[in-house]
Structures are given as C-alpha cells and as structure tokens.
Amino acid sequence: MSKSERCERLYCAPGNVGIERWAEIVELDVNNHAAVVQWCIGNAITLVVIGPDQFLADGLADPLRAAGIDVFGPSQYAAQLESSKSFAKAAMQRFDIPTASYQTFTSAQRADAEEYVRSLGAPLVVKADGLAAGKGVVVAETVEEGIEAVRSILDGAFGSAGASIVVEQFLHGEEASVFAISDGTTFITLAPAQDHKRICDGDTGKNTGGMGAYAPAPIVTPEVLGFVEDSIIRPLIDGMRAEGHPFVGCLFVGLMIQELNKVRQIQELQHYNSGINPIPLANVVEFNARFGDPETQVVLPIIDGDVLALLASAARGSLDTSVISSVAAQHACTVILASSGYPDAFEKGIEITGIDEAETDESITVYYAGVAKREGSLVTNGGRVVAVTAVDTSLSGARARAYEACNHIHFEGKTYRRDIAARAFKVTA
C-alpha cells in the first residue's frame, strides 16, 4: 500500500516494530469502535483496510461504513464465513458449493458427536467452530483420536472457540489457497498459493498458523482455477449478495485439490451413468474473511500494479481491475522462522540479529510477526517470529534466495522447515 502513488498517509493500529518502517503507528484502542471511527473522521481517513480476523469478527467494519468511511473488509455478518465454521458450512450447503460432509455439535451433544465420529471412520477432521489462531483443527488418524479431539475441544482446549465443533469427512488431495478481491458483486482472483501448516518437514507434526508458502502454485492449473471461480467463489459472492449481506474484502478460499487424472477417469465412467453428481475438481476446506498468513506474503509482492487502488475500488463497491496488469508477474517463497517449542510453549525475549544483513538482497523482505524491541535490540515476542520472503523470476530462484536470507538471521532456538515449496518440484528437500 505504501508503494502506491495514491497513498498520501498510511497509519497502522496496533502495529509493531516491523510495520513502522512503512506506516505511522497509532496509539488507538482498536476494540473501542467508536474511538476508531472518531479518529478516522478527525484524521480525514478515506480508506480503512482491516487485517486481523478478530477485528472483523467483532464487527469493526460496520460502524466505519455507517460513518461513511470506505472499508476493505466484510461486515460482521459476512465475516462469519471465517469466525464460525458451522456458518460457513451452512452457507456452502445453501449455495451448492463443494465441501466435505459434516455435522455440528455442542457440549450437550457430546455423545452424538462421538457416535458421528464412529460412523465416519478414520481419518476424519474435528474443528473448533470459532477463531483459534489457526490451531483449532485436529486431523484424526484413528477413531480414538477423533473421539479424544471431540472431548478435548468441547472441554475447553481452545476456549470459547470450541463451545461448538464441526466434525467432517476427511478430504484426500493436495491443499492450496486462492484469494479473491471482491466489491460484493464482482471479483478478481490473485495468484494461487500453497501453505505448509505442519511444524516439521514432510508435513509432519502439529498444525501451526503456517510455516511457509509459495506462489504461484502449479497444482492450481487454469482448469482448476476456472472451476474454483465458477463453482465456489461466484456462487458464494452471488449468494451472500442475494441474502442482503454482500462480501466486500478479501475472500480466502482454502482448497483440497483432486488429482485431475482420477477425476477424468471417474467422469468418463459417469458419462454412462446419468444422474450421478459430477466429481468436483476441488473442495472447500475453509474460508477466511481476510488476507491469510503466510500466503499473503507471497501473493501480494508478485502483483504488478497498484494494490492500494485495487483495494480502494473494491471498498467503494466498484472493483477496478485495470489498475493491475498481472497478478503473477514473478514467483515468491516465504519461510517462517519460529521460536523453539512452537506451537506449544516457547520463550520470549530472545535477541534477534541479522535481519539487516538478510535484507541487503533487494529481493528479500523480512515481515515481522512475533517481534518486539527491548533496549534498542529486536527480541522474539511470539511463536512465529518472522516471515522471510524472496521474489524472483523463477520459483527455484525465490526459494534459494529465501533460504540464503534465513541463514543470516539468528536467535537461540530458531526453528524452520527446510522443505518449503519443495512439493512444487516433486522432490523432497
């Protein structure tokens, strides 16, 4: 946004020591919606872009719009596509969007949930219904693990986010993500990306908020992207608008991609069996109602065009795609450096060095996450510490640059995956 010629002033709240390189940090209680509105009016703000999921779930967009301020971000109602998995599932059912079969349960229905787990068989997926910082999902390899996940979540493993749960069929395939920028009526899709959720190489270990990503992801072929646009994004955008709650903002679509050759074989068989529903090329795993991390770090830097102008036009209700000449002008790879122990317990306050050295390569941007400043030094302040992102004309080049930059950054207990983007080359790192 700061690179746009249209950007006169850029503020951020609450912000951190990383984003202050591009924006002025504002001491503002973002949970006090009235105070946010008054500050925006007093400072002649013409556009508000809401990033975090919790602010959207709390409905910050609504009073801002009511005050006549353009907002890139959905209403509280539309944001339930992310803040409530049961809401999202019900919407997909209403709009005939392909997704896994499921049922929703509360703590009072614990026995029913356990019986449903047994009926599904393993593997299966148990999800906390609400926001859980990307960690409220358990992929159960056995029925016993599924029952334990039901009990754990309903007993408060994820706090109020787990007051109800969604138990769903396990989907086979390969995961990918597609972002759609929408003004509530029309949309444009950005470069497809692949996240790496598990903490360890080879997609093993616990789920995290994301350990790295790359874009564009070749698994999302033009054929698959066309299916996603026509059979997932378009029905959702049209359906939400028809129900009086247009989705304005960034719709993040988490997908499970089917193996295309198998799909075509099944479709060939179905040609002789009329009345059978066609096999979808992709199913929806989840929706997010904003830019998803860490895919954003690889999707936005490879856009050739004015990102701020695109977001502003969507917020005004008149999406202008002419301000973008290409959504995938280059390739990008991001590697997350995390604290030792993440996603479980970890220490904070450990000194970080080498970021300046890493960024001497102009293709590198180090995005700060769990970082704070103490006595003039940068220190760790969270589980995921920084996202090291590289851009290059080839994916192999971007990947190599990102890992070279990681070698310059040091803090005790530095943890990261060494196979980010390796799946794109069908090799193991």
Give the pLDDT confidence of 322-350 residue by residue, as tens digits. 999 999 999 999 999 999 999 999 999 99
* pLDDT at res. 425: 86
Dist CA 418 CA 421 (whole Å) = 9
Domain 101-169: state its class.
alpha beta
Dist CA 162 CA 156 (whole Å) = 6
Q: Per the structure block, which two tokens stand in for 205?
A: 């270990």
Q: pLDDT tens across 35-73, in order?
A: 999 999 999 999 999 999 999 999 999 999 999 999 999
Residues of the chain with CATH 3.40.50.20: 11-76
pTM greater than 0.75: yes
Mean pLDDT along residues 306-310: 98
Map residue 55 onto helix, strand or coil: helix
Place of tokens 């830097």: 301
Average pLDDT, the chain: 93
Task: Return the exposure string of 333-372: e unless at least 16 CB atoms fall within 10 Å of the residue's CB, then b.
Answer: bbbbbbbeebbeebeeebebebbeebbeeebbbbbbbbbb
CATH topology for 177-325 is D-amino Acid Aminotransferase; Chain A, domain 1 (3.30.470)
Give me the architecture of the 11-76 domain, per CATH: 3-Layer(aba) Sandwich (3.40)
**Helix 143-154 vs helix 110-120: crossing angle, to nearest 10:** 160
Residues of the chain with CATH 3.90.600.10: 331-425
Range of lowest pLDDT (48-57, 132-141, 301-310, 333-342) = 132-141
Q: Per the structure block, which two tokens stand in for 379?
A: 């220190």
